[in-house]
Amino acid sequence: MAVEPVLTFATEGILTKLTSLVSHEISLAWGFKAELGKLNESLSILQDFLGGAAEKAQDGGKPVEGWVKKLKDIADEADDVLEEINYEFLRRRVELHNHMGKKVLNFLSASNPILFRQKMGHRIRKISASLADLKSEASYIGLIAKKKDATPQRIREDRETNAFISKDEIIIGRKDVVSDIVTTLTNSNMNQENLSVMAIAGMPGLGKTTLAKSVYNEGAIDVYFNKKLWVCVSNTFNVNSILTAMLELLSGKVATTSQQALLTNLREELSGKRYFLVLDDVWNEESEKWERLKSCLSKLNSAPGSKIIVTTRSGIVASLTETLPRPKLDLLSTDECWSILKHAACSDGSSDIERIGREIAKNCEGLPLMAQVLGGILHSKKTPAEWSEVKDNRIWDLPKTEDRIMSVLKLSFDNLESPALKQCFSYCSAFMKDDEMERDDLIQLWMAEGFLRPPEMEDIGTLSLQGNASRYLWILYHHCVEGLRGG
């Protein structure tokens, strides 16, 4: 059984945290400088082995799995020790700040400082000995230390921060389809009904949502429709939840649980108006639920010509909902995939890099998601050798397309610049799928968990969101969070 990926990056994150803590002033305040210095050195060496462990884990094998689990247990123990030292240091600092005499502090304190130093020193030395044993074991099972760059690459700050892909990217290979959809939606000959529905259906990674986004942002849509709304539905198809989301988008009003109140408020917003509604990622195949939603929408007194787009993987959902011709989404050509990949990678590289990149683009199988994510992976790789590593990865040997898609997404996660980022984004799996998260609130939660360390913790968190949105990390989150949650 292969080593759990989450275990590997969680261990790496703990080691990064410990490396930061051991350089703190507490090492001087408590006379642990020598012990903590040795611990820091041991941790740094073993951290270099983690990259090799992550790669070797792909081959499976109990020895590597056991080694990583031992390392995590030792790292957890070290984390506990340093937290105890830090707590005691801060507690005594508060007592001093309250003007208690030094003699009182030393002799009447709840903990004897001499005994405390002895106890902590013994625990630190024991941890260091365990790490030394683990280093020997790493060599025995064939793990190779891989040093990280001394100066980690700074996350790019010049990329826009949002969860949506820019227009320049999403229309590659889909311009004619976008034009046809917009024409259909705004065609007066097709606007006799009060509400018409178009389904965009297809396999995962085909670009259904990005196609809908491109249509949504077209100027002709803004001109033709009085209001437009985007609601992500996903697994749970709840009529009241959809109506609530619509109302909040239109007016910002506080949601109510009463369907009648929702319809009354929506009627005030949409009566006599032509609206365009996108229901993204619909999974519900129960006709009764869809009919209930249609019944509610028919009571809004909206103007004729209002339209709905439904994006879905399910042909059943598409057949159940559509009243307009379904657009045909062909697989992209290799050249189109290369254009997406090259743009995402920001590559102006050599002819060797382009040759390798085009070979990688063939492996995208015409799926824009694959091209986008692979481009994000290659963004930080600047040499032909690094691009060849991606081209020659064993994920391309997997038999099923969906397995290859998930493996590419996993590869994107593995290529994050730091273990802290891996922990930050895996933390998102604690939220329900498609939950909206305020950026500042999320950063505060990361800080509270200890994933971001001083100084400039909030700045680091913001840069994490900026940089990884540009590398399609939000795509990775939406597609892989269920896998992370399942462990």
Whether 186 and 256 map to the same domain: the answer is yes
The pLDDT value recorded for residue 62 is 74
Whether 269 and 297 map to the same domain: the answer is yes
Residue 476 has pLDDT above 80, yes or no: no
Strands (DSSP E) found in 37-90 = none
**Region for residue 253 given its phi and psi (left: phi exceeds 0; alpha: psi -120 to 50; beta: otherwise):** beta
The pLDDT value recorded for residue 75 is 81
For residues 470, 473, 478, 479, the Cα torsion angle rounded to the nearest 10 degrees is 120
Q: What percent of the chain has pLDDT over 90?
A: 32
Q: What is the pLDDT of residues 192-240, one digit of tens each?
A: 677 899 999 999 889 999 899 999 999 999 999 999 999 989 888 999 9
Residue 215 DSSP code: H
The pLDDT value recorded for residue 148 is 52
Rounded to whole angstroms, the Cα distance separating 354 from 374 reads 14
The pLDDT value recorded for residue 49 is 75
User: What's the average model confidence in pLDDT over 45-68?
Assistant: 69
Whether 289 and 232 map to the same domain: the answer is yes
Rounded to whole angstroms, the Cα distance separating 346 from 376 reads 9
- Asked if residue 327 belongs to a domain, the reply is no
The pLDDT value recorded for residue 97 is 63
Give the pLDDT band (50/70/90) at residue 157: very low
Task: Write down which residue in 122, 140, 158 finishes a domain.
Answer: 140
Task: Write down which residue in 140, 162, 186 finishes a domain.
Answer: 140
The pLDDT value recorded for residue 146 is 64
- Asked if residue 157 belongs to a domain, the reply is no
- Phi, then psi, of 228 in degrees rounded to 5: -140, 145
- Phi, then psi, of 325 in degrees rounded to 5: -55, 140
The distance of Cα 403 from the centroid of its chain, to the nearest Å, equals: 19
Q: What is the pLDDT of residues 96-149, one digit of tens each?
A: 666 554 444 454 444 567 777 778 888 888 988 898 888 888 888 877 776 554
Whether 37 and 70 map to the same domain: the answer is yes
Whether 316 and 348 map to the same domain: the answer is no
DSSP 121-166: HHHHHHHHHHHHHHHHHHHHTT----PPPSSPPPPPSSS--SSS--
The CA-atom distances, in angstroms, between 409 and each of 5, 189, 374, 396, 479 are: 13, 43, 8, 13, 8
Task: Write down which residue in 296, 321, 346 finishes a domain.
Answer: 321
Whether 395 and 428 map to the same domain: the answer is yes
Average pLDDT across the chain, whole number: 77
Whether 216 and 182 map to the same domain: the answer is yes
The pLDDT value recorded for residue 115 is 77
Considering only 144-148, 155-159, 234-238, 438-442, which range has the smallest mean pLDDT?
Answer: 155-159
User: What's the average model confidence in pLDDT over 323-351?
Assistant: 89
> Comparing C-alpha atoms, which of 304, 327, 306, 368 is closest to residue 199?
327
Sign of CA dihedral 259, 237, 234, 231: negative
Residue 182 has pLDDT above 60, yes or no: yes
Range of the domain at 96: 5-140
Whether 225 and 364 map to the same domain: the answer is no
Determine the angle formed by the axes of helices 473-486 and 401-414, rounding to 10 degrees.
100
Half-sphere exposure at residue 171, Cβ-oriented, CA atoms within 13 angstroms: 14
User: What's the average model confidence in pLDDT over 373-377?
Assistant: 88
- Asked if residue 279 belongs to a domain, the reply is yes
List all residues 6 or more positions away from 65 whose beta carbon is below 8 Å from its beta carbon. 1, 2, 3, 57
Neighbours of 233 (CB within 10 A): 22
User: What's the average model confidence in pLDDT over 326-338?
Assistant: 94
Whether 349 and 480 map to the same domain: the answer is yes
Whether 315 and 350 map to the same domain: the answer is no
- Asked if residue 80 belongs to a domain, the reply is yes
Domains contained in the chain, number: 3
List all residues 6 or more positions away from 486 whose beta carbon is below 8 Å from its beta carbon. none
User: What's the average model confidence in pLDDT over 42-63?
Assistant: 67
- Asked if residue 27 belongs to a domain, the reply is yes
- Asked if residue 222 belongs to a domain, the reply is yes
Q: Which residue has the tokens 């990678």?
A: 345
Q: Which residue has the tokens 């993987």?
A: 313
The pLDDT value recorded for residue 451 is 73
The distance of Cα 71 from the centroid of its chain, to the nearest Å, equals: 26
Whether 416 and 378 map to the same domain: the answer is yes
- Asked if residue 45 belongs to a domain, the reply is yes
Do you find a cis peptide bond into 455, omega within 30 degrees of 0?
yes
- Asked if residue 10 belongs to a domain, the reply is yes
Whether 193 and 281 map to the same domain: the answer is yes
Specify the pTM.
Answer: 0.65
Rounded to whole angstroms, the Cα distance separating 364 from 380 reads 19
Domain harbouring 195, CATH code: 3.40.50.300
> Comparing C-alpha atoms, which of 207, 181, 206, 189 is closest to residue 276?
181
Radius of gyration of the chain, Cα coordinates, nearest whole angstrom:
27
